[in-house]
Amino acid sequence: MPVITIDLGTIENKEKKGQLVQALTEAASSVTQIPADKFIVFIKEMERENIGVGGKLLSDILK
């Protein structure tokens, strides 16, 4: 089974996560011609204070 893993900041709600999983699965299935029901999607959420961009914490940048 193909696996898609995405690392990102926190997602607002379960509905948004579902939309992301659906979009990633549909795109990967379309490109690879592997049936969508064969894909597994892992979402790894990271708090903004655990992400650094350009030497600064993302939580400070987004204030």
Please give the positions annotated as active site.
2
- Provide DSSP, 2-59: -EEEEEEE--S-HHHHHHHHHHHHHHHHHHH---GGG-EEEEEEE-GGG-EETTEEHH
